[in-house]
Amino acid sequence: MDILLKVKIFCTLAIVLGLICAKHVACSRHRQYHPGRKMSSGDNNNEDLVTSFPGQPHADFQHFAGYVTVNETNGRALFYWFYEAITNPQEKPLVLWLNGGPGCSSVGYGATQEIGPFLVDSDGQGLKYNNFSWNREANVLFVESPVGVGFSYSNTTSDYEHLGDDLTANDAYNFLHKWFLKFPSYRTRTFYIAGESYAGKYVPELAELIVDRNMEPSLHIDLKGILLGNPETSDAEDWMGIVDYAWSHAVISDETHREIRESCDFKSSNPWINQTCCDAVDELLAQYHKIDMYSLYTPVCFATAARSNDQSTKSVMSYKRTLKMMPRIMGGFDPCLDDYATAFYNRPDVQKALHASDGHSLKNWSICNYKIFNNWEDSKPSVIPIYKKLISAGLRIWVYSGDTDGRVPVLSTRYSLSTLNLRITKPWRPWYHEKEVSGWFQEYEGLTFATFRGAGHDVPSFKPSGSLAFFSSFLLGQSPPETK
């Protein structure tokens, strides 16, 4: 106790002297947050304010968590976690972050493993401070969507049987307007939507709803742009990118690649009626199953190998012939991050602090709901037509790809974006971060595409500092840094 007391005293002095306590990991993990700043003018959210989050490092900003009911009749409610910007939250934009799956948690991935200020520690029991959290540049809102994901729920059982893109977009749209009732000072704030993976469908679909309904002044949301990481975009091009990337990165043989190229018509309504195609794609998936498809060059998590083996094989074999999607296997630089998050969010004190439960009647939280994935009813084969609509509406669209991801590889995104036939305004060139080439980018009329060198599917997990710099450029509407 004496050592801990000395650490706390040191941290307090460091703050007084203007030092940055977050750099001192030993102290930051032991200091609890005590809200000292008033809420934004006009907002009344004392019931959602998080005041004693277990293991939370010191923070000079407020965060809120709780539920927003999106359908009163059926009792559908989405769980959110909102972080105010670290400095000047009243002046900075609002960004909504969505993860995909479909069926995976934005709290478990985006908030806890990637861009949130508090990352789950390697023992699944504590938190560590993220020095590259995106709430350094914006107010960031995470939502577990649709119902059935994470803590989000419905009181009507049949809701879980009819989940798909359209319902998800409409619920997310209703969520925003009802969330603004809780936080009215953000209603007219500059707004962006960001996400990754299957959120490559969610984000444009929600943006389209906003653009369409903004014609009614009372419903106006000041949406300025969307940011998409390793996004599922167009099924035919995505699949061909998966195949060509696996071959070009020596995951499959020349023979398997040739068989897929010759027998699979990914542009048809059902490419899986061809048995030769099915067998060849099964071979591709079997080879990827031996490594982490989401990060080709990092280790797998042996702690969950048996569980992943059983779950993933069944899902792939039963699903690729219907919706042309594959289940999430694992993402992030640390291959066991999913397990740490699961352990953390199933703690009674954590659920109570986040207002997800009373601390006694616990919710069974999982990072991905495979039942949602397997029962997904409505998936648009392509959101390229929506891209065209959003570009015409003047929205800023940035797309980025971690170039070591095999699930939605850089080739998939390049193939998909090429169908837009946009005029190039700035040709292919490197962009820099910390004096190193961080990736390459190209600008088009209405769209920017960039790569992250050496990053897997969840780019901020691999390149936290670089992704924050990239995010800052996006918000400013400036090209990524082009010089050392």
Predicted pLDDT of residue 171 = 98
Predicted pLDDT of residue 324 = 43
Q: How many residues does the chain have?
A: 484
Average pLDDT per block of 10 residues along the chain, 484 residues long:
39 36 32 40 74 91 97 97 97 97 94 95 82 98 97 95 95 98 96 97 98 94 98 96 98 98 93 93 93 89 48 35 39 65 93 88 90 89 97 98 96 98 98 97 98 96 96 97 88
How far does Cα 19 stand from its chain's mean position?
32
Rounded distance, CA 289 to CA 304, Å?
Answer: 13
Tokens of 94: 């609002």
Predicted pLDDT of residue 456 = 94
DSSP E strands in 23-148: the ranges are 63-71, 76-83, 94-98, 118-120, 127-129, 139-144
| Residue whose C-alpha is closest to residue 457's, from 202, 284, 245 | 245
Rounded distance, CA 96 to CA 222, Å?
Answer: 13
Q: Which amino acid is at 405?
A: D
Rounded distance, CA 406 to CA 412, Å?
Answer: 9
Predicted pLDDT of residue 321 = 39
Tokens of 276: 């030769």
**Boundaries of every domain in the chain:** 61-249+328-484, 250-327
How far does Cα 116 stand from its chain's mean position?
11
Predicted pLDDT of residue 308 = 40
Residues with Cβ within 8 Å of 75's Cβ and at least 6 positions away in sequence, in order, are 69, 154, 155, 156
Predicted pLDDT of residue 9 = 37
Predicted pLDDT of residue 377 = 84
Predicted pLDDT of residue 322 = 42
Q: Which residues are catalytic?
A: 197, 405, 457
Rounded distance, CA 396 to CA 389, Å?
Answer: 12
pLDDT tens-digit readout, 31-78 = 333 333 444 445 656 799 999 899 999 999 999 999 999 999 999 999
Task: Classify residue 484 as exposed, middle or buried by CB count within 10 Å of its CB (0-12, 13-18, 19+).
Answer: exposed
Predicted pLDDT of residue 334 = 59
Look up the CATH superfamily of 61-249+328-484. Answer: Alpha/Beta hydrolase fold, catalytic domain (3.40.50.1820)
Q: Are 232 and 197 in contact (CB under 8 A)?
A: yes
Name the one residue in this structure whose structure tokens are 């000395």.
6
Rounded to 5 degrees, φ, ψ at 336 are -105, 10
- Annotate 10-54 with DSSP letters as a single string: HHHHHHHTT--GGG-HHHHTTPPP---SPPPTT---TTTB----T
DSSP E strands in 283-395: the ranges are none
